[in-house]
Amino acid sequence: MKILLLEDDTALASILVDYLEDEYEVTQTYSMKQALRLSEEENFDLYIFDINVPDGDGISLLKELRDFQNETPAIFITAFESTKYLKSAFESGANDFIRKPFDLEELTQRIENIKRHFGLEGVLKITPTLEFDVKTHTIFDAHKRVRLTHKESECLHYFYKNRHRVVSSDELLQNFWEFDEMPGDDAIRTIVKNLRKHIGKEHIVNIRGEGYKFE
């Protein structure tokens, strides 16, 4: 699991990185601009953002990411007591919120809850009979094992993580291809066709004029 940590308190950042790296892969930055650049260059499974950083704030950063259809789950950490920041955080697209000072185990439990909710564990049960190993890009049951291409695996995982909503072709294109390498909608249709062949067409439903929904 890859985490992008935006925290400008050097002492706290060091503690968090040392603690989290026992279980997760952590990239840490003190800068909002750097965090934005990193989010564009790499695919992260979770964002942990401080609200107040020297060159901006985590809430504005997350809102910008959401405007570009980046749906990576996010946890905010802050020393602010006012509920207005809590409201702003969730309005920007946050999934959880934790106030400083906090126990490190509490942060772990919040991360694990995000993992369960968004299907970030290594092996996911995607249908009553089929499982999906995210790391090996493999779908399997008691009788068969199919290895997906990297893009098929990424798209299936994305569908699963966003199974509560409709995902458009444009969103998939923006999340899995660089702008100058972006193919047409036919690439998404081909991936969806292949995934349906492996898991059953009833599990990826075409919502006319909007996109696809995983069921």
What confidence tens digit (pLDDT) does each residue in 117-161 have? 887 777 888 888 999 998 889 999 988 899 999 999 999 999 988
Which pTM was predicted? 0.67
Domain of 195?
123-214
Euclidean distance between CA atoms 91 and 16, whole angstroms: 26
Both 106 and 49 in a single domain?
A: yes
Does the pLDDT of residue 180 top 70, yes or no? no
Both 14 and 34 in a single domain?
A: yes
Summarize pLDDT for 65-114 with one digit per residue, the tens.
Answer: 999 888 899 999 988 777 888 888 899 999 999 999 899 999 999 999 99
Euclidean distance between CA atoms 212 and 98, whole angstroms: 33
Q: Residue 56: CA atoms inside 13 Å, Cβ hemisphere, count?
A: 17
Both 32 and 99 in a single domain?
A: yes
Report the pLDDT value the prediction gives residue 211, as an integer from 0 to 100.
93
CATH of the domain at 151: 1.10.10.10
- In 3-state terms, what secondary structure has residue 87? helix
Both 64 and 48 in a single domain?
A: yes
Does the pLDDT of residue 199 top 90, yes or no? yes
CATH of the domain at 11: 3.40.50.2300
Both 39 and 94 in a single domain?
A: yes
Nearest CA-CA partner of 2 in 39, 30, 27, 35: 27
Both 39 and 114 in a single domain?
A: yes
Does the pLDDT of residue 19 top 90, yes or no? yes
Burial class from Cβ neighbours inside 10 Å (0-12, 13-18, 19+) for residue 82 reads exposed
Report the pLDDT value the prediction gives residue 148, as an integer from 0 to 100.
95
Both 192 and 169 in a single domain?
A: yes
Report the pLDDT value the prediction gives residue 179, as an integer from 0 to 100.
67
Sequence letter at residue 134: V
For 82, phi then psi, to 5°, come to -65, 135
Sequence letter at residue 139: I
Euclidean distance between CA atoms 80 and 178, whole angstroms: 37
